[in-house]
Amino acid sequence: MELDKTDRKILSLLQDDATLSLNELAEAVNLTTTPCWKRLKKLEDQGIIQKRVALLNPDKLDLSFTAFVMVKTSDHSHEWYSQFVETVSEFPEVMEFYRMAGEYDYMMKVLVKDMPCFDQFYKKLVNSVAGISNVTSTFAMEPLKYTTALPLGAS
């Protein structure tokens, strides 16, 4: 889909504050509410806007221990992959989960309260799926940048 400047502005505004009313959004992009609503509907129908959510402060919820977990496996069958993805996707501590190219096969970002909670997660992970040959974890000491806003640019 080709996005024009107005679509990009709408998306940028919503990334910053998804609680903007239709009137506020329309005014910010110099449209009346009906054309603005039609653009929003089109962006939603095409899956560009997937959903609108509240971003929570993990520190305020005592979830400030971030680990990056890299996994290697010797089993690259579709069956193992499907079971691994299904199992890991059910762990609420896993915030992000990727299949990787390079030294490790999979990487996940894990958010928990502290090291004992991470140890529980680790044990649950390695005991949930057979065929994991190596698990390496690194721990974030300080977040330096975090955003959910996609770099829309002007293209």
Domain ranges of the chain: 5-45, 59-139
CATH class as words, domain 5-45 = mainly alpha
Q: What is the pTM assigned to this prediction? A: 0.88
C-alpha 112/C-alpha 101 separation (Å) is: 26
Q: Which residues of the chain have pLDDT under 70?
A: 154-155
- Is the distance from CB of 8 to CB of 150 less than 8 angstroms? no
Distance of alpha carbon 153 from alpha carbon 129, whole angstroms: 41
56 HSE (CA, 13 A, CB side): 9
Please give the pLDDT value at position 2: 87
Report domain 59-139's class.
alpha beta
Q: Which residues 6+ apart lie within 8 Å of 91 measured at CB?
A: 121, 124, 125
Sheet bearing 132-139, strands edge to edge: 94-99, 106-112, 65-73, 132-139
Residue 31 near residue 6, CB atoms below 8 Å: yes
